[in-house]
C-alpha cells in the first residue's frame, strides 16, 4: 500500500475519520530548473550529465551565482532538495581552476560527515581528477593525518575536531590556512544555545588565523527550513549573509492530518495513547 492508497483507505474509514479534526492536502509541484551556468567547469557539467542531471534547480543556480560574486550565503531548502551541490560545485570548481585551493567542511556529527564525504568521493572519482578529499576526525589514523594536513584539498571534519585538534596546531596546517577559499557549514539550525555559542567563537578563531596566514575564505551555509536563517548565519560567522530560499526541487503531494485519539474515559477526559494510535496507522503500510 502506497501513501495515496493509505490516504484513500483512511478517508473511507468512519472510525478513523470521526477522530480527524482537520485534513489539509497540498498539491504536488514540478521542479523549477535552469541550464548549467556558462561559467561552470565543463568537467563538472559532463559528470553531472552522465549522472542524469542535465540542469540545475533554481536554488542551486542561485548558489552558484552567489559563489561567483564572492558572497557568503546560506541555502535554506527542504530535505533531499539537492543542497549538497550548492557547495560541492563551487568548491570543486575553485580547486579545478587552482590546485592550491583548499576548503573546510564542517558537519555537526561524524555520521553526517562520512555520508557527505562519500558523495563527494563519488563525484571526484567520476571526474577522474586529482582532488583529494579526506575525513578528519577522532577515528582518522595517525599516519593519514600528516597526509591530510599537507595534501588535502577538502578537509571534512566537525566543530570539536576544529576546536581541539586543528586550530591549536595551526602551524601544522599552513597549507590549508594559506589557501583556504571556502568554509562550508551544514545543518546550521543545529547550532543553538551553548553549542551555537561555542561554534561562533571557534569560527572567530578560525577567521583570525586565516587573516594571519593571508587568506580570505567565504562561507557557504546550509540549513533546514527555519524562520531566520540569514540572522543565524550572521550571528555564527559575524558577516553579512545572503539568503537563498528559492527552492526549485520538485515537491510531492502532502497530507497534513490532525488526528485526536478517541476518548476512553469521558469523565476523566482520558484518551487512547498516541503511541498505540500511531502504531495502528503505521501498520497499515505493512499490509
Residue 111's pLDDT is: 84
Task: Label residue 38 by pLDDT band (50, 70, 90).
Answer: very high
Measured CA to CA, the distance from residue 4 to residue 25 in angstroms comes to: 11
Q: At 15, list the grid cell.
A: 472510525
Residue 242 has pLDDT above 90, yes or no: yes
Q: Report which secondary-structure segment, H or E, holds 270.
A: strand 270-271
* Over residues 66-76, mean pLDDT: 97
Which residue from 223, 188, 191, 243 is spatially nearest to 81, judged by alpha carbons?
Answer: 223
Q: What is the pLDDT of residue 143?
A: 83
User: What mean pLDDT is predicted for residues 46-69?
Assistant: 96
Q: Would you put residue 80 in left (φ > 0), alpha (ψ -120 to 50) or beta?
A: left
Section 157-162 average pLDDT: 94
Smallest Cα–Cα separation from 20: which of 192, 253, 261?
A: 261
Three-state DSSP at 54 gives coil
Q: Do 83 and 75 meet the contact criterion of CB atoms below 8 Å apart?
A: yes
Taking each helix axis from N to C end, the angle separating 42-50 and 83-97, rounded to the nearest 10 degrees, works out to: 140
Please state, as a whole number, how many other Cβ atoms lie within 10 Å of the Cβ of residue 205.
14
- pTM, two decimals, is 0.88
The SS3 call for residue 141 is: coil
pLDDT digits (tens, 9 = 90+) for 89-141: 999 999 999 999 999 999 998 888 888 888 899 999 999 999 999 999 888 88
In the predicted model, is pLDDT for residue 1 greater than 80?
no
What is the longest distance spanned by two Cα atoms in the chain? 74
| Mean pLDDT calculated for residue range 46-61 | 95
d(Cα 221, Cα 87) in Å, to the nearest integer? 8
Q: What is the mean pLDDT of residues 21-44?
A: 94
pLDDT score for 205: 97
pLDDT digits (tens, 9 = 90+) for 182-196: 999 999 999 989 999
CA distance linking residue 76 with residue 227, whole number of Å: 10
Q: How many DSSP H helices and E strands does the chain contain? A: 12, 13
Q: Confidence band (pLDDT; 50, 70, 90) for 224?
A: confident
Cβ-in-10-Å burial (0-12, 13-18, 19+) of 199 comes to buried
Please give the residue that has the higher pLDDT: either 256 or 266.
256
Does the structure show a pLDDT above 80 at 231? yes
Amino acid at each position: 500500500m502506497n501513501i495515496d492508497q493509505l490516504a484513500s483507505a483512511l478517508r473511507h474509514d468512519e472510525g478513523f475519520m470521526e477522530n480527524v479534526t482537520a485534513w489539509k492536502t497540498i498539491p504536488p509541484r514540478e521542479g523549477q530548473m535552469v541550464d548549467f551556468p556558462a561559467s561552470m567547469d565543463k568537467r563538472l557539467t559532463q559528470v553531472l550529465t552522465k549522472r542524469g542531471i542535465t540542469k540545475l534547480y533554481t536554488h542551486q543556480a542561485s548558489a552558484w551565482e552567489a559563489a561567483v560574486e564572492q558572497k557568503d550565503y546560506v541555502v535554506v531548502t527542504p530535505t533531499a532538495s539537492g543542497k549538497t551541490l550548492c557547495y560541492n560545485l563551487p568548491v570543486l570548481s575553485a580547486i579545478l581552476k587552482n590546485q592550491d585551493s583548499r576548503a573546510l567542511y564542517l558537519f555537526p556529527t561524524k555520521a553526517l560527515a562520512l555520508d557527505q564525504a562519500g558523495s563527494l568521493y563519488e563525484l571526484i572519482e567520476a571526474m577522474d581528477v586529482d582532488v583529494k578529499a579526506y575525513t578528519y576526525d577522532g577515528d582518522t589514523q595517525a599516519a593519514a593525518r600528516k597526509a591530510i594536513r599537507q595534501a588535502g584539498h577538502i578537509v571534512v571534519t566537525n566543530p570539536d575536531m576544529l576546536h581541539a585538534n586543528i586550530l591549536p596546531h595551526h602551524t601544522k596546517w599552513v597549507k590549508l590556512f594559506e589557501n583556504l577559499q571556502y568554509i562550508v557549514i551544514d545543518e546550521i539550525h543545529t547550532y543553538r544555545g551553548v553549542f551555537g555559542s561555542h561554534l561562533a567563537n571557534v569560527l572567530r578563531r578560525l577567521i583570525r588565523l586565516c587573516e594571519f596566514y593571508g587568506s580570505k575564505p567565504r562561507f557557504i551555509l546550509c540549513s533546514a527550513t527555519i524562520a531566520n536563517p540569514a540572522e543565524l548565519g550572521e550571528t555564527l560567522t559575524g558577516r553579512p549573509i545572503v539568503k537563498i530560499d528559492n527552492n526549485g526541487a520538485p515537491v510531492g503531494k502532502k497530507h497534513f492530518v490532525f488526528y485526536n485519539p478517541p476518548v476512553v474515559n469521558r469523565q476523566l477526559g482520558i484518551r487512547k495513547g498516541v503511541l498505540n494510535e500511531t502504531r495502528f496507522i503505521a501498520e497499515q503500510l505493512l499490509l
